[in-house]
Amino acid sequence: MKKKIIILGSTGSIGKCTIEIINKNKNKFQILLLSTNINVKTLIKQAKKFNVRNLVINNFEEYTKAKAKYKNSKFKIYNDFQCLNILLKKQKIFYAMISLVGIDGLKPTLNVIKYCKYIAIANKESLICGWNLIKKELVKYKTKFIPVDSEHFSILSLIDNRKFKNFEKIYITASGGPFLKKDRTKFNKITLEQSLNHPNWKMGKKITVDSSTMMNKVFEVIEAKNIFDTTYKKISILIHPKSYVHAIVKFYGGTFKILAHEPDMKIPILNSLFQKDLTFKKFDSKPLNLEIINNLNLTKVDYTKFPLVKLLKNLNDNSSQYETVLISINDFFVSKFLKRKISYLELIKLIKFHANSKNFLNFRKLPVKNVTDVEKTRNYVYSKLETLGI
């Protein structure tokens, strides 16, 4: 019998990788639902290929158009994820891939946990802003969470069958993005196109910009602290330009474990889908790259070039609403940068300035009790930043 799965955010980069893996293993899985925000053309193409009837289109305008265009088709088209309560009420699904973008992905993530045996969450905002809410649901419904970020997937693989408290230190790696070797004095000349030219990974525009500023590593450290129930002092970032080693874990017994794989998101996704089942179609991976292994070139972060990494010092080990503040500030200014309303250097300066402002730092005292707390904080930050008139 085929294993039933759903993919929320199937038209994004993670969703497409998941679809590609399923396409090579069609005899293993049945897709019950797919979703998109505005990329309806790709969504319909996916639905036809895998005979998926249930579709969610979050953008109301695109939903209205699709509803009219496909009114006589086999598709059942919805505008939000409330349909999950109806579609999944009477059945337990094997696996859910949550690759939605933004804080709005938290609600559907929490909603779907109760129906899953395994849930893979690629929505950073959920793991950063609402981890305590997610963890509560995971425990309540005995759902197994699988991280699919290459770093967190690697860490979990390294400490498998060990209690999380048994490690002494976690090192996550960062490529350094397109500006690792660029002179800091020339950052004022960086263009949008240059910031979107990542040397190793193919990602969406927003996450690619975050990689260039290394804000993505700030977020990954927060995720690692949450997922592995540890402290910020036990997590470090190492620059590794080739993106071949994704994590290193040091154990109290003095041993180190390293996990390496090609910079391809299909690898952690494939392993999250199949777990210990080795019946999948052979993955077309490359042999061990001895050239990279013999020259890992691991170095510490240069804070003068990547000053946003210092924002980690603002964080407490106990989660708070400040994490939502940090996500929202970054989202706001990256959006302005992508629209060419601010320069690259202004992007870094504005994120740093506002993340360190007393008003926003006060949110470190406020716990996250529910989704409304996250949404209200996000809206508050946006309303304050909108007054800048950028």
If asked whether residues 135 and 216 sit together in one domain, one would say no
Q: Which domain CATH number covers 66?
A: 3.40.50.720
d(CA 220, CA 368): 19
In this predicted model, which residue has the larger pLDDT, 27 or 342?
Answer: 342
Task: Establish if 359 belongs to a structural domain.
Answer: yes
- The CATH number assigned to the domain holding 356 equals 1.10.1740
Task: Mark whether 47 and 170 lie in a shared domain.
Answer: no
Mean pLDDT of 214-230: 95
Q: In terms of domains, do 29 and 138 share one? A: yes
Span 323-351, mean pLDDT? 97
Residue 56 near residue 31 (C-beta atoms within 8 A): no
**Residue ranges with strand state E in 261-325:** 299-300
Q: pTM of the prediction?
A: 0.93
Last residue of a domain, one of 147, 162, 178: 147
Q: Is residue 278 part of a domain?
A: no
- pLDDT at res. 202: 74
Q: Which amino acid is at 385?
A: L
Specify the number of domains making up the chain: 3
Q: What is the pLDDT of residues 3-39, one digit of tens each?
A: 999 999 999 989 999 999 999 888 899 999 999 999 9
The residue among 253, 274, 307 that closes a domain is 307
In a domain, 270, yes or no: no
Q: Are residues 78 and 120 in the same domain?
A: yes
> Is residue 93 predicted with pLDDT exceeding 70?
yes
Closest C-alpha to 151, from 65, 209, 222, 58? 222
pLDDT tens-digit series, residues 146-162: 999 999 999 999 986 55
Same domain, 24 and 137: yes
Residue 61's pLDDT band, with cuts at 50, 70 and 90, is: very high
What is the four-CA torsion angle of 306, 330, 149, 171, rounded to 10 degrees?
Answer: 30
Rounded distance between C-alpha atoms, residue 222 and residue 231, angstroms: 9
Establish if 277 belongs to a structural domain: no
Dihedral sign from CA coordinates of 288, 289, 291, 292: negative
Q: How confident is the model at residue 201 (pLDDT cuts 50, 70, 90)?
A: confident
Residue 234 lies in a domain: yes
Domain membership flag for residue 268: no
> What is residue 351's predicted lDDT score, i.e. its pLDDT?
98
Whether residue 269 is contained in a domain is answered as: no
Per the structure, the complete domain to which residue 92 belongs is given by 3-147
Model pLDDT for residues 242-285, shown as the tens digit of each residue: 999 999 999 988 999 999 999 889 999 998 888 766 666 666 77
Same domain, 155 and 142: no
Asked whether residue 271 is assigned to any structural domain, the reply reads: no
Which of 217, 189, 218, 14 has the alpha carbon at shortest distance from 100?
14
Do 18 and 134 sit in the same domain of this protein?
yes
Whether 205 and 332 map to the same domain: the answer is: no
Q: Are strands 299-300 and 256-260 parallel, antiparallel or unpaired?
A: unpaired
Where is the domain boundary, 128, 147, 166?
A: 147
Average pLDDT of the residues in 40-68: 95
Comparing C-alpha atoms, which of 148, 98, 155, 104 is closest to residue 129? 104
My answer on whether 105 and 44 are in the same domain is yes
Same domain, 163 and 118: no
Q: Are residues 8 and 115 in the same domain?
A: yes
Between CA 160 and CA 275 the distance in angstroms is 12
Same domain, 125 and 193: no
